[in-house]
Structure formats: C-alpha cells, structure tokens
Structure 1
Amino acid sequence: MQETILSLSPSDWADYELLDTGGFEKLERFGQFILSRPEPQAIWDKSLPDHEWKKQAHAHFAKEKNNPEKGQWEQLKKMPHNWSISYENKEGLSLKLNLAQTSFKHIGLFPEQAVNWDYLYSKIKSSPVANPKVLNLFAYTGAASVAARAAGAEVTHLDSVKQVVTWSRHNMESSGLEGIRWIVDDAMKFIKREARRGNKYQGIILDPPAYGRGPDGEKWVLEEQINEMLKVCAEILDPENHFLLLNMYSLSFSSLIATNLIKTNFKNVRNAEHGELYLNDSFDKKLPLGIFYRFSSY
C-alpha cells in the first residue's frame, strides 16, 4: 500500500484569515468580521499584544469556568449575529456558507477543512461513476456535503442534531444547489442498517467528534467506537469505485492511528494520503487542527 504523508493548509481564501494564535486563543477574520476564540492547541505566546487583539476583534468568546466548551460571546464592536462568507477554488467550486455565533464557541465552519472540500470536489468530478453516491457522517453544517453536491454527487447528509441539518440546508440553498438527502439519526445505527440492506456508496466522509450524543441520547466516544464504525463502513463502501475521507480531532491522536485503523479494516487501499490539517497564521505559526486519512480507487 503506497502512502503519501502530508501537512495540508488552505491558502488564497479571500474571506478567511488566521491573524494570530497563542495564549490558548486564536484571532480570525471571517469576511469583514474578526473573532477571538479559545484554542487549546495554541500553547505558545501571541505575536500581537492583548490590546491589539481587543482593538481588532468584533467579538470575543468567554468560556464558562466549569465548562470550557460553553460560554458566551462578548460584543466588542457592532456586528450581526448571522452573516455569510464565500469559498471558491481554481477548479470551479463555489460555496456560500452561513455563519453564526453559538454558545459552544463554534460559528458553523471549520476553515482547515477547505483542503478536504477541494479533494472531494476533484475526486467526484473525476469519478468513473456518474453521479456517485456519497455518505457524509457527522456532517455538521454541511460544507463537505455541499461541495460534494456541487461536483455532481448524490449526497446523503447525516447528523444527530436537527438544527445543524437545517443550517446545512441553508448552506446548500445559499450555494444555489438542491437535492441533498437529509438524515437526522445516530451515525452507527444508520450505517448498520445500510449494511443489512446491502446499500453501497462510492464515497464516505467521516468527521467524528471526540465525544457526542445521538438524537436519542446514544453515546459516542471516538476512541471506543471509531474502529467498529470503520468496520461497518468497509461493508458499505463500493469495492470497485470509491473514496473515503476520515478526519479526527483529538489531542491524543496522530495520523499513525488513522493509518492502523484503515489498514486493519479495508482491503486493497490505494492512493492513500494521511497527515495533519493546520492553519497558518499571519506570523507563520502553524496551528494543528486534527488529522486526516484519505484514499481512493482512482
């Protein structure tokens, strides 16, 4: 099995910029608005002084003392609660993505994933199968789903949270597209049913959280369940024409773990690439934001 080890970061994105990182925070520009948010990976010093961060930022996310994942936004300058940005690449992919300030510090977009949107668009455009069937698990607000649909795929988008599926539909419509199949369900339950039905997909996208809950309270723990999930994905992935994209964000994971998971669950893996996703700030500090593994039959 041939593999390419990569570190990938998006570039030439007019509507996004990582301005500075450090002190467990990141300063980012989304369109015309600048946000400062917590970032557990940014353990080094900031390049800009604190007063410059406050001067630039339109809003700052303040964590709750007892729950670092929850908190509230402090408005430092006037800005809307909801706004949108665009993403375009040289191959013709054009997305319009809707953003909002949430109580979990997220805004509906993970910018480091842009390199994977490019990969999906390119793979689907060059697929030997017309309108390949693509399944996006843990699909969140659906930028990957919309990119896949823009390339011509028949997309099934699954997430356990109804509100983010609605958000995804908004992203699809804003991007001038239609026809994505929306599923609110537990990812493991859904793919096991698909395996029993004998359904196959030419593409599978997995971006599982470290921890999560299904719509009926089903527990998800990445370390405990990702191996079983990949076993089932191997059953529903088209053996002849296929691609698979796996993302994992966990402070304890390396791409070698992803490599071992793929090797033990899939046969005849070809055109494999794995490594780290990161964002480069304007001072050339590289912020690691997860690992990926992707492979395809073509």
Structure 2
Amino acid sequence: MISLLTPAHWKDYELIDCGNFEKLERFGNIVLIRPEPQAVWSKQLPESEWQKRHDIKFKGRSATSGEWVRKNTKAPDRWHITYKNTDIEIKFRLGLTSFKHVGIFPEQAVNWDYISETIKKFETPQPKVLNLFAYTGGASLAAKAAGADITHVDSIKQVVTWANENQEISGLKDIRWVVEDALKFVKREIKRGRKYNGIILDPPAYGHGPNGEKWKLEDHILEMMNDVSNLLDEEEHFMILNTYSLGFSSVIVENLIKDVIKKPTNLESGELYLQATAGSKLPLGVFGKLRRFKA
C-alpha cells in the first residue's frame, strides 16, 4: 500500500511556509528560516511576512556549512520542545548547528507514532528494539517511552551524547548507547545470535563510520537489509526503513523489503511530508514499514 504521511497535532512544531529553496518553521516559540533544496516552488506567504515572523535565519557559506543570523537578539542557542501522542511524551534539546540542522527531523513523528503504537500492542514483555543510524534519538525515545528495551547505534559520538541529553530531559533511562559503524555492529549481532522485535533504519545517502568506514546508500543498503532481516524475531516484530536520497522512491524501498523478507505482513510504503500552514506540502523522504503480531 502506497501512503503519504505527515505528522498531525504537534503543538511545538509548525511548518509555516516553504518555497524558493527555503522553509519557515516554528520550533516551540522560535521561528527559523532554513535552506530547503526540495522547495523548488514559490513561497505562499509574501517575503515581508517571512521577515516579520522569523527569529533566526541560516545563511550558508557552502553546501554543507554556514552561520545563523539573529533578528531576535534574545533567541537562545539551545531550547527544549515536547512531542506527545496518546501513548508517550518525549522531549528534545534543540540547538543551532553549523550545518543547518537543529537536532530533530519533524517528519519522523509519524514513525514515532507507529513505533509506540506497535510496541503497546506487542505481547512480548519489554520488546527489544534496535535503532540504526539513530542520530539524536527520536525513535529511540519513542520506543523506550512505550516500554521497549533499546539499543541506539550511531557512528558520531557527539550526536549520541545529544541523544543521551534527550533521554535525560524526557525522564527516561537505560537506553544502550553504541558509537559504531552500523553495518559492522549488525554483523556482530548476527554472530552473537541476537534477535530484535523492532529494527529502525534511517541511513544517510552518504556517511562515514568512526574508523573511516564508508557508507553509500545504493552500494550498501541491500547488504544491510539482508543482515538485519536475520536479526528480526520471527513471531513478533516491526521494521522501518527511511531513505532521504533523491534517487530512491517508495517503490524501490518496497522492493528492497520484499527481497529480504519473504511474505512481509502489514507492509506499507510511501512518502513522508510536512504540511505547511500556508498550503504547500514539503516532501522529506520515503519509507517502508511492516509489522507482525503474535497469532
């Protein structure tokens, strides 16, 4: 089933408008202007409205770095926001980084709902969940808050430290933090005979492990998917795969899942997007997901 999914009912986040390769977003009480390469259409709101409403704007020096320019001199470098649904409540520490990110990808809230809802329905007590390429831990927090035992893997120590901060301010504990190349970690888990009830993959198009290991999505994703399929508990499980590469469609993701998991149950694929208040839809990656409950 092909789906278009966007988060709903999130008081602390709003995509106000997007266009002309920028987006105007509210995180809590702070409104940002950031570059957005996929917003190739025109802005819906006048430029004067953008300039009036924003607190801070990111200006790029290059394709990968830049600086934040404050219009509101009282706007903080760091602040907190909350996400909650009917099952969980989690908190995030946001911050202004030199590569335009703030520590959260809001479109992923759709997956946090799916994760928490699925874990709550599992018969397995404290199901084991593996979060790969886990960044600052939104999915890890959602799974932990829903009652799972979490292993969080990312190759960058600084973002794992950030994820741990998010765990603390969310009032959670005992997430297992692993700073390692995701593919190497998965291969070791197979040798150890480990099994997981949930596996979340959020791989970048390109990346590097802590020891210089190279990751390129199209070159390594099939190997990774084959390996993680060997870690899934057969009786009760879920899996989520997100990709952000412009060359990957939801059909590609669906084909990958069907290739490595025979007869997947409750399989969905589609596109994640954010709905701007001003009217436009901003696409932000594709997903494939499946889940099996005990018969």
Aligned to 1:132: 127
After superposition, the C-alpha distances for 1:117-167 in whole angstroms (9 at most, x for unaligned) are 000000111112110100000000001101100011000000001111111
2:223 counterpart (228, 231, 237): 228
1:10 counterpart (2, 7, 10): 7
Take 1:261 and 1:189, find their aligned partners in 2: how far apart are those partners?
20
SS at match of 1:252: coil
Following superposition, the deviation at residue 50 of structure 1 comes to 2.2
Which one-letter code corresponds to 2:81 in the other structure?
I
1:153 counterpart (148, 154, 158): 148
SS at match of 2:196: coil
SS at match of 2:59: strand
Aligned to 2:46: 49
Take 1:92 and 1:234, find their aligned partners in 2: how far apart are those partners?
28
After superposition, the C-alpha distances for 1:81-124 in whole angstroms (9 at most, x for unaligned) are 000101111x2310111100001100000000001000000011
Aligned to 2:206: 211
Following superposition, the deviation at residue 52 of structure 1 comes to 2.1
**Aligned: 1:32 with 2:42:** no
Take 1:233 and 1:77, find their aligned partners in 2: how far apart are those partners?
46
The answer as to whether partners of 2:44 and 2:279 remain within 8 angstroms in 1 is no
Take 1:6 and 1:284, find their aligned partners in 2: how far apart are those partners?
19
Take 1:243 and 1:88, find their aligned partners in 2: how far apart are those partners?
21
Take 2:172 and 2:16, find their aligned partners in 1: how far apart are those partners?
32
Take 2:96 and 2:187, find their aligned partners in 1: how far apart are those partners?
34
TM-score (norm 2): 0.97
The answer as to whether partners of 2:16 and 2:25 remain within 8 angstroms in 1 is yes
* Structure 2 gap ranges (5+): none
**Aligned: 1:85 with 2:81:** yes
SS at match of 1:141: coil
2:111 counterpart (104, 109, 116): 116
SS at match of 2:9: coil
Deviates more, 1:19-28 or 1:91-100: 91-100
Aligned to 1:194: 189
Aligned to 1:238: 233
TM-score (norm 1): 0.96
Take 2:44 and 2:64, find their aligned partners in 1: how far apart are those partners?
25
Identity of paired residues, percent?
A: 55
Deviates more, 1:44-53 or 1:145-154: 44-53
Aligned length: 292
Take 1:92 and 1:12, find their aligned partners in 2: how far apart are those partners?
14
Take 1:59 and 1:283, find their aligned partners in 2: how far apart are those partners?
20
Take 2:123 and 2:290, find their aligned partners in 1: how far apart are those partners?
15
Following superposition, the deviation at residue 268 of structure 1 comes to 2.4
Take 2:95 and 2:25, find their aligned partners in 1: how far apart are those partners?
14
Following superposition, the deviation at residue 69 of structure 1 comes to 2.2
**Aligned: 1:282 with 2:277:** yes
The answer as to whether partners of 2:45 and 2:278 remain within 8 angstroms in 1 is no
Which one-letter code corresponds to 2:113 in the other structure?
D
Take 1:125 and 1:207, find their aligned partners in 2: how far apart are those partners?
22
Following superposition, the deviation at residue 282 of structure 1 comes to 1.1
SS at match of 1:236: coil
Following superposition, the deviation at residue 75 of structure 1 comes to 1.2
Take 1:155 and 1:87, find their aligned partners in 2: how far apart are those partners?
19
Take 1:49 and 1:61, find their aligned partners in 2: how far apart are those partners?
19
The answer as to whether partners of 2:17 and 2:279 remain within 8 angstroms in 1 is no
**Aligned: 1:181 with 2:176:** yes
Following superposition, the deviation at residue 216 of structure 1 comes to 0.8
Which one-letter code corresponds to 2:72 in the other structure?
K
Following superposition, the deviation at residue 283 of structure 1 comes to 1.9
